[in-house]
Amino acid sequence: MSKLDSSISPLDSRYAAKIKPIAKFFSESYLNKTRYEIELMWLIYITKKLPSHFGKLSQGNEKKLLKLVNDFTKLDAKRAKTIEKKTNHDVKAIEYLIREKLNKHPSLKNFKKYIHFGLTSEDINSTSYAQIINNAKDEYLEKILELKKILKSKSSAWKASPFLSRTHGQAASPSTFGKEINVFLSRLDNEIKTLKSVQVKGKWGGATGNFHTLVLIDEKKNWINFIKGFFKFIKTPLNTLTTQIEPHDCIAELSHSIVRINNVLIDMNRDIWMYISNDLFKLKVIKGEVGSSTMPHKVNPIDFENSEGNLELSNALFTFFGDKLSKSRLQRDLSDSTVLRNIGVPFGHSYLAIQSLIKGFSKLEVNKEQSLKELNNNWQILGEAIQTVMKLEGYDDAYEIIKDLTRGELLTENSYKSLINSLEISIKSKSKLLKLTPATYIGLSKSI
C-alpha cells in the first residue's frame, strides 16, 4: 500500500517532499534511534565514571559501544517494533534491542545488566524529546531565517515604491511597500530572538524525580552534579526538579513562541493577499499552471492562501500543546505521552507555510502603474498635510476647516491645487503644499 493510499495526513503524502528536512526528526524510527543512543551513552558514562560499581570499561570496549551508538539501522528500527509487540512497552523494547547487540560482543556481555540502570522510561523519553525538539527548532529557524533574508531583500527593493495606505479599509496617508515589509521583519526579529532562547529540557530523576535508585549506590555522592555531567556529555539541557515527568513548561514556551511567529506571518499573508486583490501586487505567470478549472484568465495567490491555512492549523495544535502539556495529575499520568507523539505535526504545518511564503514572494511584483493610479485618484489624503501646515501658520481650527472641505470627498490634482491657492497662508507654505503629491507624501518610509 502506497502513502497515497494509506496516509491520513497530507503532510505524509501531498506535502511530504516539502517538509522532509523537518519531518525526519519526528518519525518513530528517529525517536527510537534517539532513545537507543541515550541509553548507550548512559551506559558508557556510568561505567567510565564509576568503575568501582559497574566494572572498568576498557578503551576497546568503549570504542565498541561508541560504534554501536552510531550504528542504529533500519533493521534495528524494525527489530525494535517487533520486540515492542511482545513487551507492549517502547522504551523496554530499546533496552532489549541493546541487550541483543551486546550479546554479539563477548567482551560487552557483562555490561548488559547495566543498560537502563537506575532509570525510569520517562528519563529516556523526556530527554529524547528534548533532543528531538531542539534539533527540529534549529531546522525550523533555518527556514524562517531563509524567509527573513527574502523579506529583507524585498524591503530594500521596494523601499521607494509608494502606495495608498488603508486604515479601516479607507484611503489613508501613503506608505511604501518596503517599509510595510520591514514592519513584519522587525516583528519577526523579536520573536526569533525569543525562540532561540528556548531550550527544551530533559530529566533524569527516576520514578518520581527524587533520584532514589542512585542514592542506593552511594548516599554521600553528589548525584545532581553527576547527572549534570552526563547531560553536558550528551549536550542536552537538564531540569533537576521534576516529578516522574519533565513538566513540559519549555515545550509550552516553545509552542507559544512559534504561535506568535505564525501570527506575524498570518498577518503578512493577509496583507499581501489584499494588495494582490487590489491589483497593487502582480503575480508572475508560471507556464503550465492553472488558476481556475473554468476561468482561464485567473492567476491566484494560492501560495499565500496555503501558507495562511497551514499557519492556522499549526497554531491550533501548538496552542493546544502549550495548554495541555504543562498540566499533569500528581506525579504523572500518561495523557501527555500520547499528545507529545504528535508534536511534529504543528512543526510540519508551520514549516510548510514558510515554504509557501518563500514561493509566493518569488512570484510577487509591485504593480507600479496601479499603485500610482490609485494614489493620483485620492488627492484628498493630503488633507492631513494641509491642516498640519495651517496649524503651523496659527490656525486654531485648521482641522475643522479641512474636514469640512475634504471629508467624504474626492480631490483631484486640480481641485487640490485650487484649495491650496485659496488658503490664507504664507507663500512658503503654499509652495511646500503645491510641490506635494500623494506619491511623494511618504514621510520617512524610505529610511525606516
The catalytic site residues sit at 168, 292
Q: What does residue 8 show for φ and ψ, rounded to 5 degrees?
A: -90, -20
| Pick from 156, 188, 199: nearest CA to 354 | 188
- Range list of β-strands (E), 192-295: 281-283
Residue with cell 493610479: 373
Q: What is the amino acid identity at position 136? A: A
**HSE-up of residue 91 (Cα within 13 Å, Cβ side):** 19
Q: CA 259 to CA 262: how far, in whole Å? A: 5
Residue with cell 504561535: 259
Q: Yes or no: say if 27 and 138 are a contact pair by the CB < 8 Å rule.
A: no
Alpha helices in 301-362 (DSSP H): 302-324, 335-340, 344-362
Q: CA 286 to CA 311: how far, in whole Å? A: 25
Q: CA 105 to CA 91: how far, in whole Å? A: 22
Question: Do you know the residue count of the chain?
Answer: 448
- Pairing type for strands 170-176 and 281-283 reads unpaired
Q: What is the amino acid identity at position 362? A: S
First-to-last CA distance in the chain? 55
